[in-house]
A = this chain, B = another copy of it.
Amino acid sequence: MTNPVLAEVLRGTLVESVHRGSVAVFDGDGKSVWEIGETHRPVFPRSAVKLIQALPLVESGAADAYGFGDRELALACASHSGEPLHAETALSMLLRAGLDETALECGCHWPDNHAATIAMARAGGEPNALHNNCSGKHAGFLCTCCHSGIAHEGYVKADHRLQGLVRDAMEAVTGAAHEVDICGTDGCSIPTYAVPLRNFAVGFARIATGNGLQPERAKAGRRLMSACMAEPFMVSGTGRADEALMKAAPGRIFVKMGAEGVYCAAVPELGFGIALKCDDGAVRAAEAMIAGVLAKLLEKDEPLADELRKLAHKPIMSRNGAKVGEVRPAAFAD
């Protein structure tokens, strides 16, 4: 089976490029609500499951011990843009555990936010691991280790105790086995496991509803999801889709992008979890798809659905600032 076209790119009035994909919407009891394409196909979730990977941070008591509020918890679930507040918050998390950026094993890159990169270069600066879009997640990993008395060196490796805790949480929440033969390495050096797309939808429905989770895990998941919805900038960054989508309906929509065109999301008031993958890995298309799916699921709230549909259509501009095309969801979202 070939997945259908879920997003298209227009130039003038003509379709210039198309993006195929699959979408799974499930409830907290594991019941299928809406599926498009091959939702049984294994997918690397990449950064879309950072919230689940952050469960040990809360469950271990580390988050409370270090006094983390919504900002820190949101950053632990983030793919942030490396803006100053992101890097400063990641550092403050590490300092509370008696560490600093030298403990991070995620590697280093210039901020994803272009203005932040230019400002850093103008000031004669250089990026460090705090500017890596995953530094919040890694700071959370390190805090979990320190609080739990686990030696943190090598915490990114699949056989480290910390990654064992993360894998246990992933398996319990998604209901899918995470074996070594489906393991790849993420850009920030931690393991990522390819499991069927639908399992991620079930997992985020469980987080949103608490169904099928131990009480402590349900509480921790809800707390992390609330933190992300309360601090959408910390989860993403200036002008990013995740921030805009969560700001469109504060406390009602959770979304998290992952590299290679993945999204995980939840709508707590409906009790639904959502997972989608753009076949070709395009972020622009995955953004249009998730906004289109959310607009459809929330269509009874007309003003919100209108706002989500607007966010699903992203103009393509010429270098002179004229609109010359757009990225938009395909017919599935009509």
Contact = CB atoms under 8 A, between A and B. Distances in A.
Contacts of A12: 183-185
A280 B18 contact: yes
Specify how many copies of this chain sit in the oligomer. 2
How large, as a class, is the contact surface on chain A? 35 or more
User: Interface SS of chain A: helix, strand, loop or mixed?
Assistant: loop
A108 B326 CA distance: 20
A324 B184 contact: yes
Interface string A1-21: 010000001011010111110
Interface of A: 2, 9, 11-12, 14, 16-20, 42, 44, 105-110, 114, 117-118, 121-122, 124, 132, 182-189, 192, 194, 260-261, 278-282, 285, 318-322, 324-325
26 contacts: A9-B260, A11-B192, A12-B183, A16-B184, A16-B281, A17-B261, A17-B278, A20-B20, A20-B280, A107-B318, A107-B319, A110-B114, A110-B118, A121-B121, A132-B319, A184-B324, A184-B325, A185-B318, A185-B322, A185-B324, A186-B324, A187-B318, A189-B319, A279-B280, A281-B282, A282-B282
